Each structure stands twice: as structure tokens, then as C-alpha cells.
Structure 1
């Protein structure tokens, strides 16, 4: 059940990113979709959707890999409690 919920949580941003890419593609071909009055607005909404969807997915992967210790040293979080004990 937990895996199904995790899959749904990741599926929603993927669909949003896909819709954003479709909006941008339609703008480049001059196809205006009904809720948007202008092509530039359609492209802007598509760009926001694409960046938000891909950003959510990338953030999830970074969080998961940090938890498992599979990231490069520059992407690791600094342990603030350990630094306070040293000082």
C-alpha cells in the first residue's frame, strides 16, 4: 500500500511536467489551447509546470539518495549538531 501511495505521489508531478511540455510544444506550433487567451501565457504556464514537475521529482531523488548516502560530498547536508559540538 505504501508503494502505491509513493507511486501516485510521483505520478502527479510527472503528469504536470508532461502537460507543461505539451503546452510549450503547442505554443511553438501556434496551437492555442482553450483556457489560455494568449500564446505567451500558454508558454509561460507550460514552463512553470515543466520546471515544477521536474524539480519535484529531482528533489525527491536527491532526498532519497542523501538518506542512503549515495550522493557526492558537495551534495551532502552538513550535520549542524556535530559542528556545534566541535566548537
Structure 2
């Protein structure tokens, strides 16, 4: 059950990022979607949705890799470096 919930939590940002990419693509082709009155607003919304969705995935992966100790020293938190532990 926990894996299904985790999958759903990761699926929501993927759908948001996908919608953002679709909004930007439609703007480049000149297709205005109904809730947006201007093309530039549609593109800006798509850009924000894409950044939020991709940023959530990036943060999740960084958090997971930090927890498992698989990141380079420059991506570790300030108190987590091996040099400070010695």
C-alpha cells in the first residue's frame, strides 16, 4: 500500500510537468486553450508548471541519494561531509 501511495505522490508532479509542456507546445503552435486569455500567459503557466514538476522530481532524487550516501561532496548538506565526521 505504501508503494502505491508513493507512486501516486510521484505521478501528480509528472502530470503537472506534462501539462506544462503541453501548454508551452500549444503556445508555440498558436493554439490558445480556453482558460487562458493570452498566449503569453499560457506559455508562462506552462513554464511554471514544468519547473515545479521537474523540480519536485529533482528534489526527491537528491533527498533519496543524500539519504543513501550516493552524492558528491558538493551536494551534501553542510554537516554531512565525511571530512567533518573524521
Q: Distance in 2 between matches of 1:70 and 1:7?
A: 22
**Structure 1 runs of 4+ off > 6 angstroms?**
none
Give TM-score scaled by structure 1 length: 0.90
Q: Secondary structure at the match of 2:13?
A: helix
Give TM-score scaled by structure 2 length: 0.91
User: Structure 2: 5+ residue runs without aligned partners?
Assistant: none
Alignment RMSD (CA, Å)? 1.1
* Deviations 1:21-46 (CA, angstroms, capped at 9, x unpaired): 00000000000000000000000000
User: Structure 1: 5+ residue runs without aligned partners?
Assistant: none
* Counterpart for residue 26 of structure 2: 26
Q: Distance in 2 between matches of 1:14 and 1:58?
A: 12
* Counterpart for residue 15 of structure 2: 15
Q: Distance in 1 between matches of 2:79 and 2:5?
A: 30
Q: Distance in 2 between matches of 1:54 and 1:68?
A: 21
Q: Distance in 1 between matches of 2:34 and 2:18?
A: 18
Q: Distance in 1 between matches of 2:3 and 2:41?
A: 37
